[in-house]
Structure 1
C-alpha cells in the first residue's frame, strides 16, 4: 500500500516529502490490523502467487476508505476485481450507495467504474485534492 502511494500517486503528491509523510502517517501495520479486525469494516486483499497485490477497505455505511494496488500489479485487473468484490459485499450488507473520495490518480479509474462526482473537490494532504464520488449499486431485477 505504501509503495502504491509513493510510486503510483505521483500526480497527487508530486514527490513532496511532507505530503507523503502526512498521507502515509496512519498506514501502519497496527492500524491495518485494527481496520481488518474491526466489525465496522469490510477489508479485502488480492493475492497473486502468494504475494499481496491489492487491498481495499469499506465501512458499513458504504464509504470506501482505501483501495490500493501494488505497482507490480497495476493495469492487470486487480483494482477492478477488488472494487467489484467490495460492491458485492456492500450489496450483501444492504448498502445501495457507495461513496469515496478519489485522488487525482484514481479519478479516471472510478469514473470508468460508473462513479460520478458529487460536489467540489476538497483539500487532502498539502497540495492534494480529494474528489467526492458516489455510485448507486444494485441487482437488476
Structure 2
C-alpha cells in the first residue's frame, strides 16, 4: 500500500537527516489525514490506494500551479522549493501513462462507446477516469479527448 511506503519513507528520511524530504512527507501525511476526515462524511473511494493517489495528484497539481506563479513573479528560490516537493510527492505516485498510451486508451474507449462528437465527451471522460484515473493526468486527457472527438 502507498500509505505504508510513505510511512517507511518518513522514517528513512528522518534517519538520513533530510529535513526538506521529511517536511514534504509530513505534508503528504497531513493531506491524506485531511482527506480521511472528509471521506467520513462523503463517499470514499473504493480502495485506500485510490484515495491516496487522488490526494497526491491534487498536491502535485497545486505545486505545479505555484511553480508557474513563482516563476512569473521572479521568485526562483520558491519555485525550486516547490519543485523539490513535487519530486518527493511523485515518488509515491504510480507511473503515469505516456502521451501515446493515453491516446491509445482514449481511442479504445471512443470506439467501445461509439463516441462520435463532443456531445459524447462526458461519457468518454467518465470511462477514462474509471479505468485509468490513477495513472493519467485528467487535465491533459481532457484536451486529448476533446481533440479526438472533434
Q: Which structure has more strand as a fraction of its residues?
A: 1
Q: What TM-score do you get using the length of structure 2 for normalisation?
A: 0.28
Q: What TM-score do you get using the length of structure 1 for normalisation?
A: 0.29
Q: Which structure has more helix as a fraction of its residues?
A: 2
